[in-house]
C-alpha cells in the first residue's frame, strides 16, 4: 500500500499543532520595534550628508572630465597652430 503525499494544508496543520505551545521571550516585541525604528528612514541630517557626498562625487567627476577635455583641446590647438605656422612659410 502506498502512502498518500502530505498536502500543504496537512503540513500546516501539523506545524501549527507542533508549535502551539511556543511563546516569544519577554521583551521580544519591544526589541523588534526598537530595531524597526532604528532601521527606519534616515533623518534630515543623514539625508543631507548623503546628498552632499553624492554631490561631491558628481562634482569631482565633472571637474576631472573638464580638465581632460581642456587638455585635449589644448593639444589640438597647439597642433593646429603649428600646422598653420608652417603653412605660411615665413622665411627670413
Selection from 43, 61, 62 nearest residue 51 by Cα: 43
From start to end of the chain, where are the E strands? none
Q: What is the mean pLDDT of residues 4-25?
A: 90
Q: How many domains is the chain partitioned into structurally?
A: 1
7, three cell numbers? 498536502
pLDDT at 9: 92
pLDDT at 2: 64
0.85 exceeded by pTM: no
- 72 within some domain: yes
- 15 within some domain: no
Range of the domain at 72: 30-85
- 16 within some domain: no
* 46-76 confidence digits (pLDDT tens): 889 889 999 999 999 999 999 998 888 877 7
41, three cell numbers? 528612514
- 45 within some domain: yes
Task: Tell me the C-alpha to C-alpha distance, in Å, between residue 27 and each of 3, 31, 33.
Answer: 44, 6, 10
- 76 within some domain: yes
Amino acid at each position: 500500500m502506498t502512502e498518500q503525499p502530505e498536502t500543504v494544508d496537512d503540513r500546516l496543520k501539523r506545524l501549527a499543532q507542533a508549535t502551539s505551545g511556543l511563546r516569544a521571550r519577554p521583551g521580544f516585541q519591544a526589541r523588534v520595534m526598537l530595531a524597526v525604528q532604528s532601521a527606519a528612514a534616515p533623518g534630515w541630517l543623514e539625508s543631507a550628508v548623503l546628498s552632499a557626498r553624492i554631490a561631491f562625487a558628481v562634482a569631482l567627476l565633472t571637474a576631472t572630465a573638464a580638465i581632460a577635455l581642456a587638455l585635449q583641446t589644448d593639444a589640438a590647438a597647439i597642433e593646429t597652430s603649428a600646422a598653420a605656422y608652417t603653412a605660411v612659410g615665413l622665411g627670413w
